[in-house]
Amino acid sequence: MANQDGDAPPIAARVKALEQVLVEKGLVDPATLDLLIDTYETKVGPRNGARVVARAWTDPDYRRRLLDDATSAIAELGYTGRQGEHMLVVENTPAVHNMVVCTLCSCYPWPVLGLPPVWYKSAPYRSRAVLDPRGVLREFGLELPEEVEVRVWDSTAELRYLVLPERPAGTDGLSEEELAALVTRDAMIGVARVGPPGARP
Amino acid sequence: MNGGHDLGGMHGLGPVEAEPGEPPFHEEWERRAFALTLAMGFHGAWNIDASRHARENRHPVDYLSSSYYELWLKGLERLLAERGIVDPAEIGHGHAAGPRPEGMRPAHDPETAAAILARGGDARRDGAAPPRFRPGDRVLVRERAVPGHTRAPRYCRGRVGTVDRDHGGFVLPDTNAHGLGEAPQHCYSVRFAARTLWGEAASPHDAVYVDLWDGYLEPAP
């Protein structure tokens, strides 16, 4: 290679070459790579976070534990590990709307939300979530009343944030499972609200 | 560092474009780059702060024009080269020119890897100096142009906020990224009124919370 990062072969070939070198050196096991991919592609994702939210909506004691010590409360449901070691849950109310960003990189609570979407990691979101949160929310279709306080949480350390959205009206008769099905990833990042049953998020 | 990664408050980067039904990965090479980064991280030849620094420490044009997993790949290649684990020429040839470096353990099998993921990496530490601030204290973020890794975003430096809570003692990224030790300090959530950061155009109701280490702060005048 001519220099450290330039004049590189097409990226797919470069990744393949790197994997080959690391396998030949005995430093990575291809089966382990498959497991890592499968974990975040099929097992860990926002359905985990939705279960946490639905539990908090239906169990006031759990909600209190979640707000007091999110890491432990989330671990009760079996969601632990990498990028979820130090969790904080911030609760939306009629007066306060929370949203989460990582302006410096892409910090995101993996055990409850999986890997972040491209827009969350993108320069537009990272630059504007702190500067113009209401404008960003508008791009997601959420117009907040002026008097609502918007709190933006910049994940600059090892704390990972999950938004506890407001439970929508008209859901009194729903089971925890039915409630979980309403909860979207975007609502747990704080760029959307949870809609009532039957509404498209 | 005042790098291209420190994006909070920048203009001109365009609208946020969400992709409905987005998959976790878009290309096979993204899957492999992601997994290679995690798997090599398990060896402990570097820590998470060093790996963040390896991604951010580059020309801002390179940073901003690279896709996300491209940055992961570039960061991984740099960490491997700097530590003498993989020479860039080996990647060029597509074959290892030498054996596994002495002192490095063999590849982790899937079970061991799963256990490492499940355990995660606790960044909280005992032994931090006593906290200098308490919730409710008004603090000023020190003006520091740090050439190495730091987690104090530019947009809050020199601004006054209020300590919202004390998270406890945490590994300090500024030293840890550079092999200078964990040097744990208390880390706080500091609340800044949006108008303190952005002026009159911001809503008087809104606030930004930033997690900041003890040494980044001084008492507000």
Residues of B in contact with A115 (CB under 8 A): 24, 34
In a domain, residue A3? The reply is no
A188 closest CA partner among A92, A107, A59 = A92
The residue to which tokens 């099905």 are assigned = A181
Which helix (H) or strand (E) segment holds residue B90: the answer is helix B88-93
In a domain, residue A201? The reply is no
Q: What is the β-pairing status of strands A149-154 and B207-213? A: parallel
Whole-number Cα distances in Å, A156 to A134, A159, B188, B191, B208: 21, 8, 11, 13, 12
In a domain, residue A86? The reply is yes
Residue A200 has pLDDT above 90, yes or no: no
In a domain, residue A160? The reply is yes
Same-domain status, A109 and A174: yes
The model's pLDDT over B26-38, given as tens digits with 9 standing for 90+, comes to 999 999 999 999 9
Q: Quote the domain boundaries for residue A134.
A: 45-189
Phi, psi of A87 (to 5 degrees): -100, 145
Catalytic residue list of A: 102, 105-107
Torsion of CA B203, B209, B210, B211, to 10 degrees: 180
Q: What is the pLDDT, as a whole number, of residue B170?
A: 98
Number of domains within chain A: 2
The segments of chain B whose pLDDT lies below 70 read: none
C-alpha B100/C-alpha A121 separation (Å) is 34
Which residues share a beta bridge with A87?
A160
In a domain, residue A28? The reply is yes
Nearest CA in chain A to B195: A131
Confidence of residue A188 (pLDDT cuts 50, 70, 90): very high
Nearest CA in chain A to B60: A123
Residues 142-171 of B with CB under 8 A from A: 151-153, 155, 167, 170-171
Instruction: Provide the sign of the torsion angle of the four alpha carbons B5, B6, B10, B15, taken in this order.
Output: positive
C-alpha A105/C-alpha A94 separation (Å) is 30
Residues 64-93 of B with CB under 8 A from A: 64, 68, 70, 73-74, 76-78, 81, 85-86, 88-93
Residue A7 has pLDDT above 90, yes or no: no
Between A and B, how many residue pairs show a Cβ–Cβ distance under 8 A? 278
Same-domain status, A34 and A112: no
Same-domain status, A62 and A145: yes
Residue from the list A12, A14, A131 with its beta carbon closest to the beta carbon of B27: A12
Same-domain status, A179 and A127: yes
Would you state the structure tokens that stand for residue A25, as one six-digit string? 């050196």
Same-domain status, A136 and A157: yes
Say whether residue B141 is in contact with chain A using an 8 A CB cutoff: no
Q: What is the residue type of B156?
A: C
Q: How many other β-carbons are positioned within 10 Å of the β-carbon of residue B50?
A: 21
**What CATH code is carried by the domain that includes residue A115?**
3.90.330.10
Same-domain status, A28 and A51: no
Same-domain status, A57 and A119: yes
Q: Tell me if A11 and B14 make a contact (CB, 8 A cut-off).
A: no
Q: Tell me if A32 and B213 make a contact (CB, 8 A cut-off).
A: no
Nearest CA in chain A to B207: A151
Sheet containing B185-193: give its strands across. A96-101, A149-154, B207-213, B185-193, B160-170, B138-141, B217-219
The model's pLDDT over A73-86, given as tens digits with 9 standing for 90+, comes to 999 999 999 999 99
Q: Tell me if B92 and A122 make a contact (CB, 8 A cut-off).
A: no
Same-domain status, A148 and A180: yes
Between helices A30-38 and B110-119, what is the axis angle to 10°?
Answer: 40
**Nearest CA-CA distance, residue A23 and chain B, Å:** 8
In a domain, residue A149? The reply is yes
Q: What is the pLDDT, as a whole number, of residue A3?
A: 43
